Structure 1
Amino acid sequence: MSSQPYGLEWFKPENLYDYAAVVIVVVSIGLTNKIHPFERPFDPNDPDLSHPHWKTDIVPMATAFAVTVGVPIAVVTIFAAIKAAYGASAVAGRGHKWALATFLVTVHDFCLPFVLTIELTSLFTDVVKNWAGRLRPDFLDRCRWSAETHACTGDPALILDGRRSFFSGHSSFSFAGFTFLALYLSDALGIFAHQTKPRGLAFRLTLIIMLFLIPSYIAISRTQQYIHHPTDVMTGSLFGVFMAVVGYRAHFKARLPSHQQQPDLADVEGGRPSEDSFNFDDRLRLVS
């Protein structure tokens, strides 16, 4: 049995390493943003770099980040609450403590790897941006090229940012976030279960696919206002999907038993399962 009070088992000492990783990545992102990007030479008459610079973003970075992080966490929180409440009422002996513990573990075990995946995606994106130094489609408008001095005369900060086009950060972290959520809900809803076909499979699959409308809009908006080339957006989107798949499988698939065995209710005594018969890492499959 765990020595921790029931209801607080969402915290595990080994998670301290994951928390440390989150902090390290956040600090690394801050340091990466201070790196000077590669200064790629350019033709002041290049039509691909001559698009107008927009003063405001269609989807500002703060909004994109809030949606990408907030929506998945909110969805899983609501879903976990419903599942925990249903599980507590459906089986005798499962009380409020069981429901609370299940809810806390579910939300915590989603949020920790989810946030880490978003952060790692952002870190790698920022590193590549500085290494590549690709010029944005609106670079010349930022540059304000002077034929007399043969140099840019625009805002230095705008010019530096104009050298960070490849690949799109909005696209990478938004697709990473919603792909992670889609994979999680697909498992929770049994969409890819091989044993039995769940009821309402088409409806469940439609809900999952429609999630991708949000990152798609965020990504496409970057080309609408000429902040990114189409290849920047496509590469960023694919990279985000890749990071989400890797992050999800590393944190969840490797820990789930292949048989997806449900806990034996005979081993649940007084609303508190034993460690041998009950695995919180099965997350939302607890009462499905």
Structure 2
Amino acid sequence: MEKINNVTVFIFLGISQNPKVEEVCFGLFSFFYMASFLGNLLIMLTVHVGNLFKSPMYFFLNYLSFVDICYSSIIAPKMIVDLLAKSKTISYVGCVLQLFGAHFFGCTEILILVIMAYDRYVAICKPLRYMTIMDRDRCNKIMLGAWVGGFLHSIIQMALVVQLPFCGPNVIDHYFCDVHPMLKLACTDTYVVGIAVTANSGTVALGGFVILLISYTVILVSLRKQSAEGRRKALSTCGSHVAVVIMFFGPCTFMYMRPDTTFAEDKMVAVFYTIITPMLNPLIYTLRNAEVKNAMKKLWQKKIFWEPNEK
């Protein structure tokens, strides 16, 4: 049967239909997005200017911050503008591109978190071979694998949606284009597509979460052989990673590890992993990581105080 697509524009219902609530959300989410953008940018600048790429941990942290900026920027600016707009519209092509971008950077972030868990495992369990195992060439190949994995995941999600016919209605009960809300608007039975979407997203979310649980369990068991100071440093670093994992994977699992259904709570849950978590990542990694704080302090002192005196 030939595909029929009469929909050229989608309309978002947004977070709320109450103007006063939208005004409050506008200020709140504008602050969250700017804090996320500037915080992650600060981490990237610290790594680049401080020449910290020789450490695999900073190498991966730099890319995590970059992905957080891209991930939140795919969704947050449009959502913030729509909070004060009378008509919350997006073109069909724009909707598909937003869906692709959200899943591309979201999946890439999951894979980077898995990589960072592996990095901590090697650093703690095989410290004498750490720099040999996690050399620059291997780090580059691992990161390339993360980008390719994110691309393949998002291409599959996008392909499952674009082959569906949309002939009306065109109102999406969400604040950005995601798979499940779009499936509800398709003019055909989406049961099989819904199963494929859940299998694809569920494999990434649940698979990544299980791998992370195993990795950190092995790390915690191995810490019994470490000295008290070694345990303290390892727990401080791993603690920040575990906090990020819980905040990111909890909402993601709720959203994507289920059949093709939507709940009223979906929008607020999505806010957590699309806007709040990218904002909290810089805080977690700086407040819980003494090395990052010291690097930022040295960078600040060097650039602000030392250079004018040197001239």
TM-score scaled by length of structure 1:
0.31
Which structure carries more helix by proportion? 2
